[in-house]
Structure 1
C-alpha cells in the first residue's frame, strides 16, 4: 500500500511538472471553437480594409502631397505641417478651443442625460406608457442631421418658429438661436441631447435589468424609500457600465459632431462654432491641403488615445472595470 501511495504521489508530481503551457491551452481553445472564429473572418477583413488599410495615408501628414507624384513620390516635409498648425496658423487655436469646449459641454450635459432618462423609465410602472415614452425618445436617432437640421431651423426661426412665438407671448424678444454667438453652443448641446438621449438609454436599461431584485426587497424591509434605493442600489450597480461609457466618450472628445455643426452653423457664428472637423472639410476637401488636414487628424487621434488611456487608468484606480 505504501508503494502504491508513493507511486501515486510521484505520478501527480510529474503531471504537475508537465503542465501544459498557457499558449498550448489557448491554442486548444481556438481549435475547439474554430467554426466560431471562421465567422469572424468577414469582420476582420472589413477592419483590415477600411480601418487599418487607410493608416497608410498617415504619411501625408509628413509630406507635401502632390496628386501627380502620389504618396510615395511626394517630398518629405517632416513636422512642417504641425509647426504651421501650432505656431503659424491664425485659426487653429480658436478652432481647437471651440472643439474642446463643445465636446466638454456635450460630456457634462449630454453624458448624464441618458442615464437620468433610463433611471426615470426604470421607475415607471405602467408598461404601455413606458413603451410609448421609449419609442418617442428613440425616434430622432434614426434621422440624419440633414433632416433634423431643417426641423431645428424651422422650430427656432425668429420670425415663424414656435419657440420664438411662445417667447413672444410672454414678452421676450425673438432670439436668433442659430445666428447668435451667445446661444449657438447651447443650441448645439440641446439638440444633440434631443437626438441621442433615447438611443443612449438602451445600454443603461439593459444594465438595470441585471440588478438582483432581492436587493430592493431587502432595502424595503430596512425602510429605504425609492430615492435611497436608486442612490444606494441602482446607481452603484450600473456604475461599471457608466465608467466604460465615460471612457469611450472621452476618447472622442475632439469629435464635436461634424454633421450637426455643418448643417446648423453659418458665417455669423464661425467664432464659436468652427471646430476641427469643419476646418478639415474646408482646408482638405475644398482647399485640397491634404497634408495639413492629415496632420490635424493625426493630432486629434493622438489626443483621443491619450485621453482613453488616462481615463482608463483613473477608473481602474477607483476600483471600477476599464476597457483595457
Structure 2
C-alpha cells in the first residue's frame, strides 16, 4: 500500500515500525494465544507491559525517583478538571498563562471548580507569541501556575519555561512531549494526551511529584483523585491496555532513535524544510506565529493576505497529491502542518516540494 503523507494534528502519525510490530503481535501476544486487549489487566503479562512503559518513559525523560507516572483516561480535557479539583484547597487560586485555545479550555474548566486567574496572556497579540517569564504575575495564594507548552492551533511553543520558586509549575505537554529534552524536576506535574507523540488516543500520561499527591482531597470522586491511581500503579480500574502497550512500543522506537536529544535534532531539521519555504516565498506564504516562538510540532501559515479561496485550492490539491491534515483548525482557518515525532523527513520533503510547486502555479 501507499502510505499517506500524514500531517494530522491528532490523532496523528504513529511510526510505521510500531504499527508493523503491533500488527505482528496483535492476534497472539507473547505466545499467550490471545491478543493483549483480551487479557486481564491483573495478569502478570499486562502488569509487565504497564511497568515497562513506565520504566522507559522514566529513562527517556530522566524522571526523578520522587515522581509518579500515571496512565489515565479521559484525555487532557479531564486533566483540566482534575488539576484544580486536587490542588485548589480553600483560599488557594490556580494561576494560568493564557497562550491560546487549549490554555483557554483549561482556564474555563478550572473556573467551574474553584478560583482561577490569568497570570499572563498573549491574547492581544492574537496568541501568536508566548508571554515572557517577566510578564507572569503569580498571586501570593497561588496553588500552582499552569502553562500549555505547545499550542496546536496557534503553532506557538515555549522555548524555555518560567522559574517560579516554590510555586509548582504544571504543564500541558500534549502536543510536544518527548519531542525534546525537558528538565522534569522544574515541574510539579506534566500531563499529555497520547495521540500526538506518544501513541494512539485513549491514554493520558501524568507525571507528578509525589509530595503533591500524597493525600488527594477526600471530597472528590475516587476516580478523580491522583492518589487513587498512584497507589494502584495505574491499575485501580481497567486501564486502556492496548493504548498503554502502544505507548510502550513508541517509547522503544524513540530509544532506538537515540533518545530525546536526537529526536529533537531530527524534528528541527525536518521542520526547517517547511519553515524555509514559508520564509523564502516572498510573501506568498505567511507564517502565523512569531518566529522566536514557532512550534516545531505545528506549523501554521496562510496564503497571501489570508486568501481563503487559494487556501481551499491548496487543501484540495494537496489531498489529491496524497497529503492529509493540512487544513487549519476550524476556529482560525488557514493551513497547518503537524510534524510530530512520527512524521518522517520524507513527508516534510514532499510537502516542501509541493508548496514550492503550488506557489509557482499560483503566485
Question: Which structure shows the higher helix fraction?
Answer: 1
TM-score (norm 1): 0.26
Higher strand share: 2
Q: TM-score, normalised by structure 2?
A: 0.24
